[in-house]
């Protein structure tokens, strides 16, 4: 029998590495995708079934990724995790930056979903999870393109759930809160940001990549067989409360 395959983008760092490790532990063959160009940039678990170096901004790579993953087995799960931050308020955002952030965070998820859907439809089974953000749901200063891309992912999730639920495919999203990764390392050194986020997170700490990976694994499992079109926050309660914990 062919193994179940999970495609995980942005797997060379942070949340993506944790997701790849979790799927491996759950018995999937993992197709890890990242733009990292040197072998040492791949910090994925040694047992990862296949690595593919690809820049998801390249519109041609989605088909290549889907084909390479299909060669490993049946693609049961697609995790659109790769993303970039660094956006600014609208008045300070140039066209290039807007287009790049929207394309990597949203366009690549659309293209890769389109590439794997025919195989999932044929088998009548599959699960797609987009990694969105709490900043796609709650306004925050200085992050226009990023927030727009993540809000659009939540919309895409609902739309895909409606279109492909009848074909046996579930599509959900996870919206992480403040998770300790390379993406947030610099932000966490800013005391204002740190205070603002941590003081309004009821559990009073940052999250770990594996805590996001656990929810992604749940969404792709049979335990989530009736969960479809949802965006689930993994944020220690930040979005639900923005509770002032201290100060
Ligand atoms: P990270 O540590 O920066 O890791 C992201 C990985 O994706 C990196 O290896 C990155 O490569 C890769 N990547 C970026 N653009 C790519 C492209 N065009 N093609 C291929 N690979 C690409 O980020 P993270 O914190 O793990 O975040 C993962 C996802 O969670 C992102 O979608 C992010 O928006 C979302 N998220 C994170 C947080 C958080 O607190 N960390 C909160 C909410 C949402 P480079 O290193 O070369 O960029």
Q: What is the predicted pLDDT for the residue at 46?
A: 77
Mark whether 164 is an active-site residue. Answer: no
Three-state DSSP at 169 gives strand
**Distance between CA atoms of residues 86 and 100, nearest Å:** 11
Confidence category of residue 244, pLDDT binned at 50, 70, 90? confident
Q: Is the pLDDT of residue 247 over 60?
A: no
145 alpha carbon – ligand 1 mean position (Å): 15
**Distance between CA atoms of residues 129 and 167, nearest Å:** 16
Q: Which ligand 1 atom is at minimum distance from the Cα of 206? A: 40
Q: What is the pLDDT of residues 13-64, one digit of tens each?
A: 999 999 999 999 999 999 999 998 776 777 777 788 999 999 999 999 999 9
Query: Are the C-beta atoms of residues 87 and 145 closer than 8 Å to each other?
Result: yes
Fold observed for domain 5-179+208-241: Rossmann fold (3.40.50)
Structure tokens belonging to residue 31: 């197709």
Confidence category of residue 246, pLDDT binned at 50, 70, 90? low
182 alpha carbon – ligand 1 mean position (Å): 8
Residue 179, ligand 1, Cβ within 6 A: yes
pTM score over 0.85: yes
Domain assignments of the chain as residue spans, ordered by start: 5-179+208-241
Q: Is the pLDDT of residue 242 over 90?
A: no
Closest C-alpha among 46, 47, 69, 65 to residue 55: 65
Q: What is the pLDDT of residues 69-117, one digit of tens each?
A: 999 999 999 999 999 998 899 999 999 999 999 999 999 999 999 999 9
Q: What is the predicted pLDDT for the residue at 194?
A: 86
Residue 16, ligand 1, Cβ within 6 A: yes
Three-state DSSP at 230 gives coil
Query: Are the C-beta atoms of residues 12 and 43 closer than 8 Å to each other?
Result: yes
Q: What is the predicted pLDDT for the residue at 115?
A: 98
Residue 119, ligand 1, Cβ within 6 A: no
Closest C-alpha among 113, 124, 109, 128 to residue 166: 124
Q: What is the predicted pLDDT for the residue at 20?
A: 96
Could you tell me which residues come within 8 angstroms of residue 88 by beta carbon, excluding any fewer than 6 positions away?
97, 142, 143, 144, 145
119 alpha carbon – ligand 1 mean position (Å): 26
Residue 13, ligand 1, Cβ within 6 A: yes
Residue 34, ligand 1, Cβ within 6 A: yes
Three-state DSSP at 30 gives strand
Q: Is the pLDDT of residue 190 over 80?
A: yes
Catalytic residue among 28, 140, 146, 193: 146
Q: Which residue has the higher pLDDT, 45 or 131?
A: 131
Contacts 24+ apart (CB under 8 A), 89-93: 89/141, 89/142, 89/144, 90/144, 93/144, 93/145
Q: Among 107-121, 151-165, 184-198, which is the least confidently predicted range?
A: 184-198
């Amino acid at each position: 029998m062919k193994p179940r395959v999970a495609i995980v983008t942005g797997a060379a760092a942070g949340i993506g590495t944790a997701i790849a490790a979790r799927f491996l532990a759950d018995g999937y063959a993992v197709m890890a995708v990242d733009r990292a160009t040197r072998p040492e940039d791949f910090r994925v678990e040694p047992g990862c079934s296949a690595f593919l170096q690809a820049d998801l901004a390249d519109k041609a790579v989605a088909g290549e990724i889907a084909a390479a993953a299909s060669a490993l087995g049946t693609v049961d799960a697609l995790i659109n995790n790769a993303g970039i931050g660094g956006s600014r308020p609208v008045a300070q955002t140039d066209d290039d930056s807007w287009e790049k952030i929207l394309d990597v965070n949203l366009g690549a998820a659309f293209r890769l979903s389109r590439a794997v859907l025919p195989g999932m439809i044929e088998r009548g089974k599959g699960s797609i999870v987009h990694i969105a953000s709490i900043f796609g749901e709650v306004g925050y200063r200085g992050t226009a393109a990023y927030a727009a891309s993540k809000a659009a992912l939540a919309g895409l999730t609902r739309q895909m759930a409606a279109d492909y639920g009848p074909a046996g495919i579930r599509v959900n999203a996870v919206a992480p809160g403040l998770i300790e990764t390379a993406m947030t390392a610099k932000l966490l050194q800013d005391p204002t940001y740190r205070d603002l986020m941590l003081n309004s997170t009821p559990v009073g700490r940052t999250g770990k990549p594996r805590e996001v990976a656990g929810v992604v694994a749940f969404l792709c499992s049979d335990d989530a067989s009736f969960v479809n079109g949802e965006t689930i926050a993994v944020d220690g309660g930040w979005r639900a409360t923005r509770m002032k914990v201290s100060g």
